[in-house]
Amino acid sequence: MTHNDQHYTLFINAAPQQCWDAITNPEFSRQYWGGHANISDWTEGATWQHEDTNDGNAVRVTGKVLECNPPHRLVISWFSPRNEADISKVSFEITPLQGVVRLDVIHHDFIADSTMARGVANGWPLVLSSLKSYLETGKGMDVMTIMGNSACAGKDAAA
């Protein structure tokens, strides 16, 4: 990892498959990501999209599925459709650990002076807290209201 990489670790009272489904199933991701849905068939090489279902399914972030090993590891490229040059990667690693899961989310490989890096640094802690709440209680947080309906540093950052 470089000094610009963002690494988040959570311990969640859930099974690995539940955590995987929360990340990859649009019906679930919408529940904790403020109405944003992660959509793909999640096969390596496939396109994935992060759609704002509150705004006519506008695509806020997109990329390719780089690695997919359910329910343990997912690696995706990540960029705004408005700025494809500002590309990075996100790795989700789900590890079972004595009845809970350890979820490591690593947003990495940012380009120099990335505006995306600054935007998602504000969003990931909130989205991941909402994911944990959703998996443990069945209810995510209203992340869009908390973030001031800005989708974390502009609607293109989307984390």
Bridge partners (DSSP) of residue 68 are: 74
**What pLDDT is stored for residue 88 in this prediction?**
97
Burial grade of 127 (CB within 10 A; 0-12, 13-18, 19 or more): buried
pLDDT, tens digit (0-9, with 9 covering 90-100), for 6-27:
999 999 999 999 999 999 999 9
Residue 66 above 60 pLDDT?
yes
In the structure encoding, which two tokens stand for residue 79, read together?
């960029």
Residue 138 above 50 pLDDT?
yes
Strands 36-39 and 6-12: unpaired
> Taking residues 97-108, what's their average pLDDT?
97
Residue 142 above 90 pLDDT?
no
Superfamily assignment of 6-146 in CATH?
Answer: START domain (3.30.530.20)
Angle in degrees, CA 32, 151, 149, rounded to 5? 90
pTM above 0.95, yes or no: no
> pLDDT: is 153 or 62 the higher one?
62
Residue 129 above 70 pLDDT?
yes
Please provide residue 41's backbone torsions phi and psi, each rounded to the nearest 5 degrees.
-95, 0
Residue 137 above 80 pLDDT?
yes
pLDDT, tens digit (0-9, with 9 covering 90-100), for 32-59:
999 999 999 999 999 999 999 989 989 9
Cα–Cα distance measured from residue 65 to residue 87, given in angstroms and rounded to the nearest whole number:
13
Residue 159 above 70 pLDDT?
no
Q: Give the CA dihedral 146, 151, 154, 159, nearest 10 degrees.
A: 120
Domain ranges of the chain: 6-146
Q: Indicate the average pLDDT of the chain.
A: 91
Cβ atoms of residues 82 and 89 within 8 Å: no
